[in-house]
Structure 1
Amino acid sequence: MSSPSGDSGGSGDPEGSGDPEGSGESDDSGSSGDVPSADEVVTAADVEAARERLEEVVHRTPLDGSTTFAERSGADAVGLKLENVQRTGSFKIRGAYNAMAQLSEAETETGVVAASAGNHAQGVALAGRLLDIDATIVVPEVTPAAKIDATRGYGAEVVVEGGDYERSYEHALELAEAENLTFVHPFDDERVIAGQGTVGLELVEQMPDVDTVLVSIGGGGLISGIATAVKADNPNVRVVGVQPEGAAHAKPSLERDEIHTLSEVDTVAEGIADARLLEKTFAAVRERVDDVVSVTDGDIAVATALLAERAKTVAEAAGAAPVAALLSGAVDVEGERVVAVVSGGNANLADHAELCRVGLERLGRSAELRLELAEWPTALGDVTDVVEREGAELDALERTRRTAADDLNRTPVRLGVAGSGPDHLRDVVAELEALDGVSVARHSLDRDV
């Protein structure tokens, strides 16, 4: 069996690349002749059937309109499909439950096993509890204790095995064979894909005149299901996949009409840090997805910050990727009605805060300065007075370690400031440089962070 790359469209954690890391070069595997047609994988009827199974199980998540994002992107209207407020914090419960609800009586009695360090784990665990099916989740040793506790909280048995997801995946398959358990794949399963497609059914009902739908791509399960539902409702709706530049395997796959595998991935969006599509998701993506675009990690940081500030929503990096495509201009949506699927919100709060900080820095609304003060700590008062007088906010102020290049008669200080934009903060820098006994050694306003 092929190894999965991970959860598609926002898992919260990487689920392995399925391929060993290498030099950054890629290889190709599979061909169009090896792949089934999209209708052989999943149909609109399958998605409708999944909705019936899920009707009393999942939330019908809101489609939140954003005037700010519409203005910034040039769109006529923007709706945010907030799967980050779904049960377990992501769309994953939809596919997991739909797959497990269709198990045979014998499969139900013996139980299921999955490998995951992220949202797929919690989706399978909750589905198991709701369906009274024993679920075993294999996680790598690096999985945070909080995520293990959350998965156990849904009633699953958690097995910690392996230094990375690849080994956890292999162990899950070994358990499946040894204990006659059913392996629940995170995305390359037609029942999982159909369950994820119920997101698409909801969004076209919430915005019937939608022109473009933006969806993250990891392993491809989410976009395969959504595209199936959306295209069945209106084949003229454009479905666009979004990937980080450091894990951009889907576009080459579409261009070459064969599965393209990356030898390594490198992105802050761990939930979509996948190396390839697999056969079933490739079949759906190549027939039903109109285009795939890439965004930088910096674009994702900006989107994460603005989602928190303007939409009041916490999104994990993978879930913010479609908004990154919208705001960065990676996809032209001028005058269109757009839905961006925010697929998950299970972000580590410290990581989320750091991503937001970087996003604000890239927007020129936050800056870090290194000052050298002739008189310590007397000059600190002058520094804080300038920041206050210029209407900026003081984020951080601390004495920092001296380097060999520093003047021994001056004290190095790290200063963090926030303001309305880069011009505002440059004015603050200019006023600080005008102070006696204060010099600005460097600042981040002109640095590509």
Structure 2
Amino acid sequence: MSGEREADDRRGPNESSVSLADVEAARERIADVVHRTPLDTSRTFAELSGAASVGLKLENVQRTGSFKIRGAYNKMAQLSPAERDAGVIASSAGNHAQGVALAGDLLDVETTVVVPAVTPAAKIEATRGYGAEVVVEGDIYERSYEYALERAAETGATFVHPFDDEAIVAGQGTIGLELLEQYPDLDTVFVAIGGGGLIGGIGTVLDAAERDIRVIGVQPTGASHAKPSLEAGEIRELADVDTVAEGIADTRMLETTFEIAREVVDDVVSVNDREIAAAVTLLAERAKTIAESAGAAPLAAALSDEIDLEGETVAVVISGGNVNLTEHAELTRTGLHELERYAEARLALADWPAAVGDVVETVTDRGGELDVLERARRTAVDHPNRTPVILGLEGSGPAHLDGVLEALSELEGVSIVERSLEFE
């Protein structure tokens, strides 16, 4: 197939701590609990990426809104009676929290989940809705993780790690089994990397396939630890992270996932937050699916030209869809900016509010979509006898937006003071 591995590729016989048999056993264990999520092919994304076919593995429609229930249930279903009685504690940026909480509810195990302050409110409320106690502790995931370990030691509860556990990895790997069945001609798969549990599980399955399938990891540039670690042959930890994709904002892999990744990951691609926002936008517009930032990152990589996909059958794992609606709206607005389909301008109106009608009519006549039109706070740059107004405008592209703004500038009593986005 295209994209065959080089002769010096580090991948040899899979000697990792998780085997194909472990993943197959996990599938039997979780079969009555998880959904077999759809794989939705997209002609649009195939054309944009140059691939022959692109399939979206929609884990955002999984129970709890992400893939995490697979690993959490597989782990907790294997706890001893004594461990179940003692309860479990977990740390999470949000999705693992819901997986653990639902598994606890189904298995009648008391659960406590520690989340960082950056966790979206929707994820926290959903976790509580499954009956778990939620403790907000730490500004980033690593601080929550440390606190959860301390509390587990104090209470005797079993700590359920979000990724660095063979049972967790095996549960996530069930996605790989479904991919092979749903997309038998698969050549390349893009998978987000936070701590490495998801890509480790999927990679384990695909590594055992009868033919060569590329496994490409994806990280945000503000939390890109995997590639340096794999290139160095040892775990590299980031001092801090800075990304909108809080679901994969880990500072490092740990021993279990790192060793598996060394065996099964072919390459790692980094994408910036604006590229991720564009992918969130395209998923909503073209695929009619809601994805969180971490879930959209693999699509951003597939569309980035970093990996040659010409003529290939490509799977993109959309790992989750747990996002606040206000956050999703902000992401799509940023995504439209990135796609050069959104502009903002500061207008000065001589006749407020009568001139507003002329502005709305002009935008509509020119085929634009008015997103924001609101009176702004006056600043030193504003004319004292003009009303400052903020305009947010969606269009089909740079030329269209320029045309609408030009038409606005020609209106009597309307002038454009500033544009926040200029197209080349």
Normalising by structure 1, we get a TM-score of 0.87
Alignment map for 1:98-113 (pairs within 5 Å): 98-113=74-89
Give the Cα–Cα distance (whole angstroms) in 2 for the partners of residues 423 and 334 of structure 1: 30
What residue identity is the alignment partner of 2:391?
L
Task: Indicate whether 1:239 and 2:215 are aligned.
Answer: yes
Higher relative CO (Cα under 8 Å, sequence separation at least 6) belongs to 1
Deviation at 1:39, TM superposition (A): 2.7
Match of 2:328 among 352, 373, 378: 352
What residue identity is the alignment partner of 2:300?
A
Cα contact 2:40–2:57 (8 A) shared by 1? yes
Give the Cα–Cα distance (whole angstroms) in 2 for the partners of residues 181 and 258 of structure 1: 31
Q: In the alignment, which residue of structure 1 is the partner of 2:245? A: 269
Gapped regions of structure 2 (runs ≥ 5):
1-12
The change in CA–CA distance for 1:247 and 1:166 in structure 2 (over 3 A counts) is closer
Deviation at 1:176, TM superposition (A): 1.9
Task: Indicate whether 1:121 and 2:112 are aligned.
Answer: no
Match of 1:168 among 130, 144, 150: 144
Say which is worse superposed, 134-143 or 375-384, in terms of deviation.
134-143
What residue identity is the alignment partner of 1:408?
P
Cα contact 2:94–2:124 (8 A) shared by 1? no
What residue identity is the alignment partner of 2:190?
L
Cα contact 1:38–1:283 (8 A) shared by 2? no
Give the Cα–Cα distance (whole angstroms) in 1 for the partners of residues 183 and 206 of structure 2: 11
What root-mean-square deviation, in Å, do the aligned CA atoms of Structure 1 and Structure 2 show? 1.9
- Secondary structure of the 1:412 match is strand
Cα contact 2:374–2:391 (8 A) shared by 1? yes
Q: In the alignment, which residue of structure 1 is the partner of 2:268? A: 292
Cα contact 1:422–1:445 (8 A) shared by 2? no
Say which is worse superposed, 229-238 or 339-348, in terms of deviation.
229-238
The change in CA–CA distance for 1:59 and 1:326 in structure 2 (over 3 A counts) is same
The change in CA–CA distance for 1:290 and 1:235 in structure 2 (over 3 A counts) is farther
Say which is worse superposed, 211-220 or 363-372, in terms of deviation.
363-372
Q: In the alignment, which residue of structure 2 is the partner of 1:18? A: none
- Secondary structure of the 2:404 match is helix
The change in CA–CA distance for 1:109 and 1:72 in structure 2 (over 3 A counts) is same
Normalising by structure 2, we get a TM-score of 0.92
Say which is worse superposed, 300-309 or 137-146, in terms of deviation.
137-146
Q: In the alignment, which residue of structure 2 is the partner of 1:315? A: 291
Q: What percentage of residue pairs aligned between the two structures are identical? A: 67
Cα contact 1:247–1:262 (8 A) shared by 2? yes
Runs ≥4 residues deviating over 6 A = none
Give the Cα–Cα distance (whole angstroms) in 2 for the partners of residues 145 and 297 of structure 1: 20
- Secondary structure of the 2:15 match is helix
Deviation at 1:255, TM superposition (A): 1.3
The change in CA–CA distance for 1:274 and 1:145 in structure 2 (over 3 A counts) is closer
Cα contact 1:363–1:422 (8 A) shared by 2? no
Give the Cα–Cα distance (whole angstroms) in 2 for the partners of residues 224 and 388 of structure 1: 50
Q: In the alignment, which residue of structure 1 is the partner of 2:9? A: none
Deviation per residue, 1:391-429 (Å, 9 max, x gap): 112212111112112222222111112221111111111
Say which is worse superposed, 345-354 or 358-367, in terms of deviation.
358-367
Deviation at 1:279, TM superposition (A): 0.8
Q: In the alignment, which residue of structure 1 is the partner of 2:416? A: 440
Q: In the alignment, which residue of structure 1 is the partner of 2:359? A: 383
The change in CA–CA distance for 1:162 and 1:337 in structure 2 (over 3 A counts) is closer
Deviation per residue, 1:288-327 (Å, 9 max, x gap): 1000001110100100001011111110000000011112
Match of 1:369 among 345, 355, 359: 345
Q: In the alignment, which residue of structure 2 is the partner of 1:338? A: 314
Alignment map for 1:38-437 (pairs within 5 Å): 39-140=15-116, 146-161=122-137, 165-437=141-413
The number of aligned residues is 412
Give the Cα–Cα distance (whole angstroms) in 1 for the partners of residues 122 and 358 of structure 2: 44
Give the Cα–Cα distance (whole angstroms) in 1 for the partners of residues 238 and 416 of structure 2: 43
Cα contact 2:119–2:246 (8 A) shared by 1? no
What residue identity is the alignment partner of 1:229?
V
Give the Cα–Cα distance (whole angstroms) in 1 for the partners of residues 314 and 400 of structure 2: 32
Gapped regions of structure 1 (runs ≥ 5):
1-36
Give the Cα–Cα distance (whole angstroms) in 2 for the partners of residues 243 and 162 of structure 1: 22
What residue identity is the alignment partner of 1:97?
Y
- Secondary structure of the 1:315 match is coil
What residue identity is the alignment partner of 2:333?
R
- Secondary structure of the 1:200 match is helix
Give the Cα–Cα distance (whole angstroms) in 1 for the partners of residues 143 and 393 of structure 2: 44
